[in-house]
Copies of this chain bind each other. A is one copy, B any other.
Amino acid sequence: MISLLTDFGTSEPYSGIMKGAILSVNPDVTIVDITHDVEPQDIRCASYFIYAAYQFFPLKTIHVIVVDPGVGSDRSILAVCMGGHYFLAPDNGVLDLIFGENEIEKIVKVENKNYFLKPVSRTFHGRDIFAPVAAHMSKGVGIETLGPEISFNDTVRLGLLKPYRSENGELIGQVIFEDRFGNLVTNIDRTLLFQAFDNGDTDHMKLTVENNEIKGLSESYADVEPGSLLAVIGSMGFVEISVNQGRASEVCGARKDSIVKISK
């Protein structure tokens, strides 16, 4: 099975062409779109999306991520085996969140041109490299045959703003993206929050974002009045700022990159 996460959109034929190129090598593989609508070149957003998604796929799925501002430059392409899954992605840090959670079995730098389309264009490696390489992997080609093994320390870090504790004990993070319902997804995950609040005693927590204050952690949207702000552990495992039957982004004026503070 192959999953696809790109910023190609679906208005042009690019994602369809990738699928054609995959199926030309392995007509029997199942292909699943995670999304093709990552904001163009937004590596950080893609890193959260693949992190939220991969664990719900069957083991041994090959996850192909093509959010790749460096296409055509000398950036590397990585094939990685970790956590029972395979990942094929540009070496730009998009896998950082997954690296942080799993023991790495193997990382190789994809260089074996036998598995590429010929000729390789300078602008569409999704079709010319990622698609055929993933298809060959799905047919059983081991990643050790794709190129030389490299170590984690030789790969590129994204430099995510990691949530941190301030001197006075506040948990500081930020909004990663706004979903189509207007929910604001932060980079503060359940584990971090529960550590900060004595194993989950979040009844008295106070979340501040753009001069709005939200008290306590709700369990579902219906816990507050329609139109009111709430904080909730969202489906991706991160703290989200939401509004019951409304759009949090409109109610609180926060947006992507807004700073979020959580205190007791």
A→B interface (CB under 8 Å) = 1, 3, 5, 8-17, 19-21, 23-24, 27, 30, 32-37, 40-41, 49-50, 52-54, 56-58, 61, 69-73, 121-124, 127, 177, 179-181, 219-222, 232-235, 240, 245
Complex interface: chain B residues within 8 A of A245 (CB): 41, 69
Q: Are B16 and A23 in contact, with the CB atoms below 8 A? A: no
How many copies make up the complex? 3
Q: How far is the CA of A240 from the CA of B14 in the complex (A)?
A: 15
* Contact A222:B72 (CB < 8 A) given known A23-B1, A58-B23: yes
- The 8 Å CB contact of A127, one of B56, B61, B240, is B56
Q: Are A24 and B72 in contact, with the CB atoms below 8 A? A: no
Would you list the 4 A-B pairs with minimal beta carbon distance, nearest first? Answer: A72-B220, A124-B235, A16-B34, A20-B57
Complex interface: chain B residues within 8 A of A71 (CB): 220-221
Complex interface: chain B residues within 8 A of A13 (CB): 5, 34-35, 49-50, 52-53
- The 8 Å CB contact of A19, one of B15, B32, B72, is B32
Q: Are B37 and A16 in contact, with the CB atoms below 8 A? A: no
Complex interface: chain B residues within 8 A of A19 (CB): 32-33
* Contact A72:B179 (CB < 8 A) given known A17-B56, A35-B13, A235-B123: no
Complex interface: chain B residues within 8 A of A37 (CB): 10-11
Q: Are B30 and A27 in contact, with the CB atoms below 8 A? A: yes
Q: How far is the CA of A33 from the CA of B23 in the complex (A)?
A: 13
Q: Which chain B residue has the least Cβ–Cβ distance from A237?
A: B121
Complex interface: chain B residues within 8 A of A36 (CB): 10
Complex interface: chain B residues within 8 A of A21 (CB): 56
Can you list 11 pairs linking A and B with CB atoms under 8 Å apart?
A1-B27, A11-B180, A13-B49, A13-B53, A17-B52, A19-B33, A20-B32, A21-B56, A69-B245, A72-B219, A121-B233
* Contact A121:B24 (CB < 8 A) given known A10-B37, A72-B222: no
Complex interface: chain B residues within 8 A of A240 (CB): 123
Complex interface: chain B residues within 8 A of A121 (CB): 233, 235
Q: How far is the CA of A111 from the CA of B189 in the complex (A)?
A: 29
Complex interface: chain B residues within 8 A of A57 (CB): 20, 23-24
* Contact A221:B123 (CB < 8 A) given known A1-B23, A17-B56, A58-B20: yes
- Min CB gap A213→B, angstroms: 22
Q: Which chain B residue has the least Cβ–Cβ distance from A35?
A: B13
Q: How far is the CA of A16 from the CA of B61 in the complex (A)?
A: 13
